[in-house]
Amino acid sequence: MAENLMDFTDQNFDSDVLESDMPTLVDFWAEWCAPCKLITPAVEAIAVEYAGKLRVGKLNIDENPSTPSKFGIRSIPTLILFKGGEAVEQVVGVRSKGDLKAAIDKSL
């Protein structure tokens, strides 16, 4: 995982995402998911580009099953932008970096 990407888990999700002062983008993914691997470079680029304005991290749904079910994740990749403890934007499926940035910019 890229150094600027955080690793979210069921254990740290509340403290690192929901209680964060900074908006946080969470990439729900799994090792076996080919589309998840396709979107990773865009997610990593966003983590670099938005450093200081946005926290970005990944949550492996196989290793952390309770958080995805809490947010109704039905397919991956799903990216959710959290702000002030609330999910404010959600993108499902492989999207371009431009599409992701547009969704983020709308809510930041």
Q: Annotated catalytic, 57?
A: no
Asked whether the bond before 77 is cis by omega within 30 degrees of 0, the reply is: yes
> Which residue among 6, 25, 36, 100 is the active-site one?
36
Q: Would you call 36 a catalytic residue per the annotation? A: yes
Q: Are strands 55-60 and 86-92 parallel, antiparallel or unpaired?
A: unpaired
Instruction: Return the number of other C-beta atoms located less than 10 Å from residue 102's C-beta.
Output: 13
Q: Is 92 left (phi over 0), alpha (psi -120 to 50) or beta?
A: beta
Candidates 30, 33, 45, 87; catalytic one: 33
What residues are labeled active site?
Answer: 33, 36
